[in-house]
Amino acid sequence: MFISQPFGRLPDGRETRLHLLQNKSGARAEITDFGGILVRLLVPDRTGQLDDIVLGFASVEPYVDRSPFFGATIGRFGNRIGGAQFTVDGRTYPLAANNTPAGQPCNLHGGPLGFDKVLWNATPFKEPGVAGLRLTHLSRDGEQGFPGNLAVTVEYRLTDANELRIDYSATTDQATPVNLTNHSYFNLRGEGRGTILDHQLKLHAARFTPVAASLIPTGELAPVAGTPFDFTAPQTIGSRIAAKHPQLEYGNGYDHNYVVDPVAGQKLVPAAEVYEPETGRVLEMFTEEPGFQLYSGNWLDGSLIGKRGQPYPQRSGFCLEAQHFPDSPNQPQFPNTILRPGERYATATVYRFSTR
């Protein structure tokens, strides 16, 4: 089922809309054309009770200038590019700098006017067992400093199996970095219902990319074994988050890229599983990306009020952002993120919901 309704106006007067996807069991995803943002995601608990499990706002206005990327489609480049610049084919491109960890400038999530601030073209579609929404955008040459005209398509699919699948694709007319992701903050107890510290997390990742104080990767792929970053066996998110460890101190908690364990012969592989014992909800993430960012809502501080009318305190949501590694354009040993004319960027991530 598909429904569309007004979601408020932007400062320049343009109208935004909220598009509702619903499956046969009543699970629902609500996506706005502003920023390609996942505004609500309602899935059942172990008793069948539906609740909204993503953080966000009740109208478009706060998303314009107050949102820490709640639910947003991120681009052109998810995560950080160090020094807010990169070089490709011998030419250096300065980028919009919108983040300065430890006083070091970087381009974060595509810049201050990234894809999360774009009014996308939205078209609903249906497939067997699927309610879908297709979003398209042409990112012009020079936007936020990035070269090339980049034609982007993002497709949300809500399946009757309680999966939310996101497919990303793009083409370009100049060599440019591309690294698209979704920045949803999850709380499987329900948005506005406390912290995520007791959520049990398992990661299919034996390595991560340590960062400097600037939160830019050092270039190392380090083993998680013996560190607070080891979630290869289930641990609560809060069990070691306050440990005295330089990496946790740099990020004020978890804000790190993990390296997905590859599976021979498979593109879409398991990356993470989260279980919330009170409701029984389980989230599994599968991705074609080589990594994902675990972010534990470190900079939420209670000043933002969510859809339920409740404030969002520190660690009231967690993010699992499937991605290429941060700063990849400046680190040639990392998997390639440069898209060239004649090539097609294509990747998929699936969030599967169940109970136990």
| Domain extent for 198 | 2-355
Q: What single string gives the DSSP state of each residue in 219-277?
A: S--EE-TTSTT--SS-EETTSSTTS--HHHHHHTS-EEEEEPPP-TT-SSEEEEEEE-T
Residue 2 parent element (H or E): strand 2-9
DSSP, res 145: G
Helices (H), the chain: 61-65, 246-251
Instruction: List the chain residues with pLDDT less than 70.
Output: none
Tell me how crowded residue 59 is: count the other CB atoms within 10 A of its CB: 15
Of 80, 281, 68, 84, the closest CA to residue 187 belongs to: 281
Q: 111 with 95: CB under 8 angstroms?
A: yes
Beta-ladder partners of 82: 106
Tokens representing 4? Answer: 């569309």
Catalytic residue of the set 19, 109, 137, 183: 183
The structure tokens 């299919």 sit at 204
Cβ–Cβ contacts within 10 Å for residue 200, how many?
17
Q: Is the pTM of this model over 0.85?
A: yes
The beta-carbon contacts of 128-132 under 8 Å, at least 24 apart in sequence, are 129/23, 129/24, 129/159, 129/160, 129/161, 130/157, 130/158, 130/159, 130/160, 131/1, 131/2, 131/21, 131/22, 131/23, 131/157, 131/158, 132/21, 132/156, 132/157, 132/158
Tokens of 28: 């629902």
Question: What is the structure's pLDDT at 77?
Answer: 98
Exposure b/e, 304-324, CB count within 10 A at least 16 = b: bebbeeeebeebbbbbbbbbb
Q: Which of 199, 204, 321, 324 is catalytic?
A: 321
SS3 (DSSP) at 286: strand
Structure tokens at 22: 């619903």
Cis peptide leading into residue 76 (ω within 30°): yes
Residue whose pair of structure tokens reads 């809309």 in the numeric block: 17
Residue 352 to residues 183, 198, 304, 323, 335, Cα–Cα distance (Å): 16, 20, 28, 18, 26
Which pLDDT score, from 0 to 100, does residue 92 have? 98
pLDDT at 204: 98
Q: Assess whether 183 carries a catalytic annotation.
A: yes
User: What integer pLDDT is reported at residue 238 of this predicted model?
Assistant: 98
Q: What is the pLDDT of residue 2?
A: 78
Residue 19 bears catalytic tag: no
Measure the CA–CA gap between 322 and 331, rounded to whole angstroms: 19
In the chain, DSSP finds a helix count (H) and a strand count (E) of 2, 27
**Run of H or E including 131:** strand 130-139
Torsion of CA 86, 92, 97, 100, to 10 degrees: 60
As for how many domains the chain has, the answer is: 1
CATH number assigned to the domain comprising residue 248:
2.70.98.10
Task: Write b or e for each residue in 8-41: b if 16 or more Cβ atoms lie within 10 A of its Cβ, otherwise e.
Answer: beeeeeeebbbbbbbbeeebbbbbbbbbbbbbbb
